[in-house]
């Protein structure tokens, strides 16, 4: 296994991979594939990458990760969790529900589940629960028996062009559902709900709105999580207690419940599975409270995700100053959505914005994080600070924090290091001294 990339960062979990017998290399070197029987590459790797070129020269099969995933899981019963947002959380929740029902699934997510010690729950059955990722049309390699669409919005416009292209990509995915399969769609989301008319006999809706088939009612939110009653086809199933905050996570839990019910789980088993769900890394991950500052880390990198995360934080900490840190992800996404980013971030009391994390992309002229900072100011944000270098962000932010603040760090790139480093600074004292209000 090699770790190519612009910054050649170490593979997370490298030591665990090596204990399992994997040889992990760093950097770009054609010699890494000399003895390979196959090369699996993510969609972010260009076709002229030296290891890809060498593999093809030597006749070594080269597969995209999505093709390898489909070849593996399509041999069994597949639950594919699709959507612009919420895939990782919903996949993990669904896996826990099906495990509680005794179905022993294999779950594969795009994040880290702490009690799985990684992104994989290795099951003993032929049931697979996987994220169905729309980027690069990766989910078109899956043949689901059960498909979920959590929501549908414009994203990855570098691939799809516009919202119509995104919708067509999802329709193609749903046409791959096997005969007698089931599609569960969030009826609260306008984009997802538009798919329902094309699903005669297979469509099933869930959410908080009147008219959906699996509905949460009498919803109450508290700092510890969310509580609701759940009704299925007009019949009350019972109460649901969820430790993850926010209505978006309640909808994710309903998606997991819908899959569980379709595959035979009792309501008690659904509740047991959701109680076993203890979160996914960087999905509203609470890093603790240090020196009177609550620290939260989140993967949100789309305007809708940010809006939901900011709202959930406000609901939990209504009387505390909210300091948000955001790193835009991808030049193309920043170009397409900088105004929407600004509006969704404007609810913070203090907003720090860094430059763009490029990931797989090359810079675009005139596209920087300053566009987001300016858009937030235009949207009414009172205190916006553009700090280009995310590496020095922790020291800059820590020095301005006050007792009783909430620090919310958001983004899908190297900003993930900011929360833990601020925590270390606050714990260490002088370098991260907190102002007492």
**Which tens digits make up the pLDDT trace of 274-329?**
999 999 999 999 999 999 999 999 999 999 999 999 999 999 999 999 999 999 99
Whether pLDDT at 183 is above 90 = yes
Catalytic residue (one of 88, 95, 141, 368): 88
In Å, how far from its chain's centre is CA 249? Answer: 12
**Which tens digits make up the pLDDT trace of 369-378?**
999 999 999 9
pLDDT at 23: 87
The stretch 172-182 carries a mean pLDDT of 95
Whether pLDDT at 432 is above 50 = no
pLDDT at 184: 98
Burial 60-78 (b: 16+ CB within 10 A, else e): bebebbbbbbbeebbeebb
Could you tell me the CA-to-CA distances from 337 to 58, 311, 344, 382 in Å, in that order?
42, 19, 11, 20
**What residue segments make up the domains of the chain, in order of their start?**
2-60, 67-276, 285-432
Residue 87 appears among annotated catalytic residues: yes
**Which tens digits make up the pLDDT trace of 100-144?**
999 999 999 999 999 998 999 999 999 999 999 999 999 999 999
Measured CA to CA, the distance from residue 246 to residue 410 in angstroms comes to 16
pLDDT at 225: 86
Whether pLDDT at 433 is above 70 = no
The stretch 198-216 carries a mean pLDDT of 93
Catalytic residue (one of 2, 51, 84, 87): 87
Read off the pLDDT band of 437 (50, 70, 90).
very low
The stretch 70-87 carries a mean pLDDT of 98
Catalytic residue (one of 51, 96, 131, 416): 131
Looking up tokens 């594919």, which residue turns up? Answer: 80
Domain 285-432 homologous superfamily, CATH: Mur ligase, C-terminal domain (3.90.190.20)
Class for the domain spanning 67-276: alpha beta
Residue 64 appears among annotated catalytic residues: no
Measured CA to CA, the distance from residue 229 to residue 208 in angstroms comes to 11
Read off the pLDDT band of 11 (50, 70, 90).
low
The stretch 136-162 carries a mean pLDDT of 97
Start-to-end C-alpha separation, the chain: 50
Residue 2 appears among annotated catalytic residues: no
Measured CA to CA, the distance from residue 325 to residue 309 in angstroms comes to 12
Instruction: Quote the pTM value.
Output: 0.88
Whether pLDDT at 10 is above 60 = no
The stretch 233-261 carries a mean pLDDT of 96
pLDDT at 202: 84
Q: What is the mean pLDDT of the chain?
A: 93
**DSSP bridge pairs for 239:** 229
Read off the pLDDT band of 429 (50, 70, 90).
low
The stretch 27-50 carries a mean pLDDT of 92
């Amino acid at each position: 296994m090699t770790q190519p990339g612009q910054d050649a960062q170490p593979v997370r979990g490298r030591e665990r991979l090596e204990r399992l017998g994997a040889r992990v290399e760093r950097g770009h070197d054609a010699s890494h594939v000399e003895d390979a029987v196959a090369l699996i590459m993510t969609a972010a790797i260009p076709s002229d990458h030296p290891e890809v070129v060498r593999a093809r020269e030597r006749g070594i099969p080269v597969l995209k990760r999505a093709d390898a995933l489909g070849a593996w899981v399509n041999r069994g019963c597949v639950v594919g969790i699709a959507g612009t947002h919420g895939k990782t959380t919903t996949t993990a929740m669904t896996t826990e529900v099906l495990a509680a029902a005794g179905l022993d699934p294999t779950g594969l997510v795009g994040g880290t589940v702490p009690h799985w010690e990684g992104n994989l729950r290795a099951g003993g059955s032929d049931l697979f629960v996987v994220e169905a990722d729309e980027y690069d049309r990766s989910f078109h390699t899956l043949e689901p028996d059960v498909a979920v669409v959590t929501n549908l919005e414009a994203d990855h416009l570098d691939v799809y062009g516009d919202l119509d292209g995104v919708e067509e990509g999802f329709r193609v995915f749903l046409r791959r559902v096997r005969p007698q399969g089931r599609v569960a769609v969030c009826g609260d989301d306008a984009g997802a709900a538009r798919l329902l008319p094309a699903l005669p006999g297979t469509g099933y809706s869930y959410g908080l709105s009147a008219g959906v088939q699996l509905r949460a009612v009498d919803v109450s939110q508290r700092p510890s999580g969310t509580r609701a009653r759940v009704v299925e086809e007009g019949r009350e199933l019972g109460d649901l207690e969820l430790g993850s905050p926010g209505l978006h996570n309640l909808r994710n839990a309903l998606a997991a419940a819908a899959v569980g019910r379709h595959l035979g789980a009792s309501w008690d088993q659904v509740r047991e599975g959701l109680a076993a769900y203890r979160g996914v890394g960087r999905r509203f991950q609470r890093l603790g409270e240090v020196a009177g500052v609550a620290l939260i880390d989140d993967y949100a990198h789309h305007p809708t995700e940010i809006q939901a995360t900011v709202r959930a934080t406000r609901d939990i900490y209504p009387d505390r100053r909210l300091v948000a840190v955001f790193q835009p992800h991808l030049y193309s996404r920043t170009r397409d959505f900088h105004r929407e980013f600004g509006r969704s971030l404007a609810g913070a009391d203090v907003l720090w914005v860094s430059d763009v994390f490029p990931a797989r992309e090359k810079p675009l002229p005139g596209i920087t994080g300053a566009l987001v900072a300016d858009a937030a100011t235009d949207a009414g944000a009172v205190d916006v600070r553009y700090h280009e270098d995310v590496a020095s962000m922790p020291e800059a932010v820590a020095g301005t924090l006050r007792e009783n603040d909430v620090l919310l760090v958001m983004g899908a790139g190297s900003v993930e290091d900011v929360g833990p480093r601020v925590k270390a600074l606050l714990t260490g004292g002088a370098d991260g001294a907190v102002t007492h209000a």
